[in-house]
Amino acid sequence: MKNRIRQWNALWDPDRYHGWGKSRRYFEGWYFKLVDPEEQFAFAVIPGVALGPEGNNHAFIQVLDGKRCKASYYEFPFEAFKPASQKFEVEIGGNLFSRERLKLALPELSGELLIHAPTPWPKMLGAPGIMGWYSFVPFMQCYHGVVSLNHHFEGQLDVYGVATDFSGGKGYIEKDWGRSFPACWIWSQCNHFDGDVPVSLMASVAKIPWLGRHFIGFIVGFLHGERLYRFATYTGAEMKAGVEGNTVYLAFKNKAGQRLEITALQAEGSDLRSPLSGTMTGKVNESMKAVLDVALYDGGKLVYSGSGRNAGLELAGPVELLLSDSWRR
């Protein structure tokens, strides 16, 4: 009964741990992006838990060094994974992760950072998180959440043993949980755009299993100043997608007459592990050196146009299944 109550509470707060009572074929992980103010370093730190089909369970922390294009995977006993039951806070082997602070004790990164002014995905009636009403569907292969679209840090980390001030640097936090990642997807994220107005982008397109069939689903959030523009399958928005060489093109439009166009230039990356039936045996290449050109239109009027750097970009699986030259839902 206690686990059911915790699962119910987590349903309304997607940031916190959802796996109470799970023992097999389950994963859950959070993605923390850290960039120092001088943009010399860009890291993704991914804590999580993997519950395999044979009970081969463990906790883990992955580290992606986006500048050096190298990745590390640190495995911990399952018992080292200690999630809080009433909020988002996870401890793994002396490392602590929450929406307020980070405490790291890893070979690449050690120290503590405070997280200031996090920008959560807004909650609405019937939509506790970024997945909208899909949050309540019990048989989804994978669920997605955004903890903070944009925030800044206070504190310093030892980066490969060298003290580095991260105060004023930028970060981003998202998460996934379920059984497996989709068979194919395109994902991009960036919050390093020029100008005084905060700008942050998260875009995800994937092949989603559904009742023995599948559909192409997408979730996009574009934060411009204090306004979040949303484009998603469940809102009736439409999309186009194309890949030519190293260039990825994504476009989205919604019923409010807003249109977002993204042109991403792929760059060198590194392989990360990804979940398959709860085991971390999949593989995805992620770059944190991608460059994004973004244009937002509202009613035909150009609202924003700019270029983003330190962008995360993943193309995984047979992405040709996601592509379309014409608008489609």
Answer yes or no: CATH 3.30.1540.10 is held by domain 2-328. Answer: no
- What is the model's pLDDT at position 211? 80
User: Residue 296's closest CA among 204, 245, 229?
Assistant: 229
Q: Which residue in the block uniquely carries the two structure tokens 């959030």?
A: 221
Average pLDDT, rounded, for the chain: 95
pLDDT, tens only, 170-192: 999 999 999 999 999 999 999 99
- What is the model's pLDDT at position 124? 82
pLDDT, tens only, 299-310: 999 999 999 999
pTM for the full model? Answer: 0.97
Domain ranges in the chain?
2-328
Measured in residues, the chain has a length of 329
Give the count of beta carbons closer than 10 Å to the beta carbon of residue 190.
Answer: 26
pLDDT, tens only, 58-89: 999 999 999 999 999 999 999 999 999 999 99
- What is the model's pLDDT at position 195? 83
* 177: amino acid identity, one letter: W
Percent of the chain with pLDDT over 70: 100
- What is the model's pLDDT at position 108? 97
pLDDT band at 1 (very low <50, low <70, confident <90, very high): confident
pLDDT, tens only, 30-62: 999 999 999 999 999 999 999 999 888 999 999
